[in-house]
Structure 1
Amino acid sequence: MKLPETFRAAFVIARRDFTATVFRKTFFLFLLGPLFPLLIGVGMFGIGAQVDRNAKPPPVAVISSQQDFELLSAAREQLAPAADPLPMVELRHVIPEADLAAQKDELLSSADEPVMAVLDGGLTAPHLTGTVTSKDRTARHIRLYIDEARRMAAGPPLKAVKVQITQSKKMAGPQAARRVQTGRSGQALLFVLTILLAGMVLSQLIEEKSSKVIEVLAAAVPVDAIFLGKLFAMLATSLTGIAVWTVAGAFAIDSFKAGGVSSLTAPAVGWPAFIALIFVYFSMSYLLIGATFLGIGAHASTAREVQILSMPVTMGQLVLFGFASLAVGQPYSTVGIAAAVFPLSSPFAMIARAAEQPALWPHLLALIWQGLWVALILKMASAVFRRSVLKSGKSRRRWWQRKAA
């Protein structure tokens, strides 16, 4: 059968499966099903936010003499035991250069060695520059360091000095750190939706195998068209459910004024492109995992066999999610590139990259690459199905065995 006819047959199969799934009373129960996992996810997000709050923030760059920096470091060590549960702001010494303004701009905009702020002026005229205010944690810690360092300095007691604060928008460090949180949130959402919805295509295939419907379909249209149609029908069903959950979530956020999403930093590609990429990468992740599940369904005949065979795939998804999580914050490292290239982890790695890097062309390449792997896995799954269920396909015997027969 030619390619256009295959697509036409796949569309007929997809329309049949989509209608049979969505226009059922049980689909309403399907829409209610994720409420409990979502509640658990909200709790896990709160735990993750607490972990991020306890995480070590970028240091403050101190442009000063070695003597002043040693006094500030000693003051930090002196104050550390009496600090609150959050870690004290760390300091990093930078040797002063001739052009102080250019040096501060370079430090604040550097993504390789991000800093929270820049402190200059020594202990007599301290000046803190960055995305800080006089009441936030960084400014309070710096004032404590300076007061303690002046107290520890040799000589007569000095009068209290006020720290001058200048807010700057040239902050790659804190913004990059907050975009990491946005990337991790996008990864978690993608993973939860994929692992929650990808199993539907497997259960439907097993149901039709047990009732011999799949064999009737295979007699009318190619197996490739059946698998393609079923996969896209379940994808359309999943996107329908996601659309309903998105509308319900928007109403809930508007009603309760939840601050979890609003607290996230805008991704590098912008919110509209990031949300669109979440839907696109969910589709690719669903197609990749769904095609794998179809290959599993070719070997399974009962629900028990499905559970046995799908368990390694589920555990593999967890491993792939952890692998992609290692790439967050370091998209150009070996791990980051490997996670983006490996097809099953590529959607998770690329959605995190969208939160951290503004370029859009890598996403086009990634989607083409993932689409090629979807086609390859579907081809392999249909070949396995023909051999194991329909008992058709090319013979595996060698040429001398066929000649002898």
Structure 2
Amino acid sequence: MSDTEMLRPRLTTLEAAWVIARRDFVAVLFSRAFLFFLLGPLFPVLIGGLAGSIGGQVQRNAVSIEVGLALSPEDNAAMIAAADVLRPQLAGQVPELRVIEEAAQDSTFDARAFLDQRRGNYAAILTGSLAAPQLVGTQGQIDRWSGPIELIAATASGASPSQFPTATSEVVATSAASERTNRVRTAQAAQMVLFLLTMLLGGMVLSNLAEEKGNKIIEILAAALPMDAVFMGKLFAMLGVSFVGIAVWGTVGWAFWAIAEDAIVTVTQTNFRELPGPAVGWPMFMVLGLIYFTMAYLLLGSLFLTIGAMAASVREVQTLSMPVTMLQLMVFFLSAANIGQTGTPLELGAIAFPLSSPFAMLARAALEETLWPHALAVLWQGVAVILLVKGGSLLFRKRVMKSGGAGRAKKSWFARRAPAPSQPSSGPAE
């Protein structure tokens, strides 16, 4: 038995992996860099939300449409009354009508000169009479508002009815086509969240390995513990750190929701309506989302560890990670393109390819109720993680052993070439 084997602690692979996972988890969790990492995504979200709110308010103020009225006082009042009648039936198609005080006071009022002076916030100005209205404005505004203005003028003059029949309606909860279309939106949103979390948190594995490669800690661990255990421990340590990060961001999001619930609900209903429920139900979908995030993170992390095993320096680690990032983007686009194409060869290929399998199966959970394919997919993804970890650790072991063997060979060569130390003479030569 060699000296290294005698000094190596007698730990199983799982025990050694637990030691590495606990060491890395504590080291990363209580570091200042992790605190800044947690705060990093919050500032862009906060700034983006404030900028969007301010920009939306400015746009609403700037885009308010007003058409000026330069008719007789009676015609102005009739136009405003007709607009109020038509506005409930033509939501968004009836502009705000405002009487121009300068036109009422000046019999020689010139609408063209008034618009050239850029006074007020008028898109166009209506002159003439109810029988012969004339709209003054740019060509775009005339094309947009001539039809509604003509309808309002016709209603004000009595040529159009002021009373409109009310149509009855019968609303159904859903239909097969609309339900599937809505679930596609849920699948797209779930894939996007999974991709962003994986890419945002997966880089911690690469940065941690690059740091330990730079200060030679990884080689010390490789000499003391099985390399499979080192890789597996690092993966699960970074996975635990990722769950801590998600928990922190989720808590902040929940607190923000509790503070601004009304505003968030209003924006959500306005822009996204209601996110439809997945086919497997929300509880099972959340469980599958957690499982597929775990598998996607382990797959990407094991690939990053393999890249770290191939690289000889921190610069090479960063260089080689770029193709993997681009590969992940292509994998995401491949999975997103197959949403709704259940059972097609391209969708089955995305499920079979390990890196795209979590994304494709999460989308399928939103569209299909069957659960047994998810068990097979998770099993295959776990096998892929083990194979990647085995391959990465084998590659790293070969590189470390090769460098160590080369160093010993070089040392033995110099030892052979060095002159033998002279022995001290025991006495004068006879």
**Aligned twin of 1:11:** 18
| Cα contact 2:213–2:313 (8 A) shared by 1 | no
**Aligned twin of 1:369:** 380
**Aligned twin of 2:329:** 318
State the one-letter code of the partner of 1:28: L
**Aligned twin of 2:295:** 284
Alignment of 1:86-165 (within 5 A): 165=169
**Aligned twin of 1:110:** none
Which of 1 and 2 has greater Rg? 2
State the one-letter code of the partner of 2:31: R
Measured on the aligned residues, the alpha-carbon RMSD in Å equals 3.0
The more displaced of 284-293 and 324-333 is 324-333
Distance 1:358 1:343 in 2: 22
State the one-letter code of the partner of 1:221: L
Going from structure 1 to structure 2, the CA distance change for 1:174 and 1:391 (only over 3 Å counts) comes to same
**Which 5+ residue runs of structure 1 have no aligned equivalent?**
47-83, 86-159, 394-405
Alignment of 1:249-264 (within 5 A): 249-257=253-261, 258-259=264-265, 260=268, 263-264=274-275
Distance 2:380 2:362 in 1: 15
Q: Find the residue that maps to 1:390 and give its secondary structure.
A: helix
Going from structure 1 to structure 2, the CA distance change for 1:357 and 1:166 (only over 3 Å counts) comes to same
State the one-letter code of the partner of 2:16: A
Distance 2:17 2:387 in 1: 16
**Which residue, out of 329, 338, 344, partners 2:340?**
329
CA distances 1:251-281 after superposition (whole Å, capped 9, x unpaired): 2123222234872111111112212222111
**Aligned twin of 1:28:** 35
Going from structure 1 to structure 2, the CA distance change for 1:292 and 1:267 (only over 3 Å counts) comes to same
State the one-letter code of the partner of 1:369: W
Going from structure 1 to structure 2, the CA distance change for 1:285 and 1:42 (only over 3 Å counts) comes to farther
Distance 2:328 2:217 in 1: 30
Distance 2:237 2:202 in 1: 12
| Cα contact 1:277–1:351 (8 A) shared by 2 | yes
**Which residue, out of 183, 187, 193, partners 1:189?**
193
**Aligned twin of 1:387:** 398
| Cα contact 1:321–1:345 (8 A) shared by 2 | yes
Deviation at 1:26, TM superposition (A): 2.6
**Which residue, out of 214, 217, 221, partners 1:213?**
217
| Cα contact 2:295–2:381 (8 A) shared by 1 | yes
Task: Find out whether 1:306 has 2:327 as its counterpart.
Answer: no
State the one-letter code of the partner of 2:34: F
Distance 2:257 2:279 in 1: 23
CA distances 1:362-399 after superposition (whole Å, capped 9, x unpaired): 11111001000000011110111011233289xxxxxx
**Which residue, out of 157, 167, 181, partners 1:177?**
181
Distance 1:348 1:268 in 2: 16
State the one-letter code of the partner of 1:185: A
State the one-letter code of the partner of 1:357: E
Identity %: 50
Deviation at 1:178, TM superposition (A): 0.9
| Cα contact 1:210–1:301 (8 A) shared by 2 | no
| Cα contact 1:202–1:290 (8 A) shared by 2 | yes
TM-score by length of structure 2 reads 0.60
State the one-letter code of the partner of 2:309: A
| Cα contact 2:213–2:314 (8 A) shared by 1 | no
CA distances 1:329-383 after superposition (whole Å, capped 9, x unpaired): 2222222222112111011111111111122221111100100000001111011
Q: Find the residue that maps to 1:198 and give its secondary structure.
A: helix
Q: Find the residue that maps to 2:342 and give its secondary structure.
A: coil
State the one-letter code of the partner of 2:355: L
| Cα contact 1:14–1:229 (8 A) shared by 2 | yes
Going from structure 1 to structure 2, the CA distance change for 1:339 and 1:40 (only over 3 Å counts) comes to farther
| Cα contact 2:295–2:382 (8 A) shared by 1 | yes
Going from structure 1 to structure 2, the CA distance change for 1:340 and 1:389 (only over 3 Å counts) comes to same
**Which 5+ residue runs of structure 2 have no aligned equivalent?**
1-7, 54-91, 94-163, 405-430
Deviation at 1:36, TM superposition (A): 4.7
**Which residue, out of 331, 338, 341, partners 2:349?**
338
Distance 1:386 1:231 in 2: 17
CA distances 1:234-257 after superposition (whole Å, capped 9, x unpaired): 011011100111111122123222
State the one-letter code of the partner of 1:15: R
Q: Find the residue that maps to 2:169 and give its secondary structure.
A: strand
Q: Find the residue that maps to 1:331 and give its secondary structure.
A: coil
Distance 2:231 2:177 in 1: 47
State the one-letter code of the partner of 1:323: L
Distance 2:37 2:166 in 1: 61
**Aligned twin of 1:235:** 239
Distance 1:343 1:382 in 2: 19
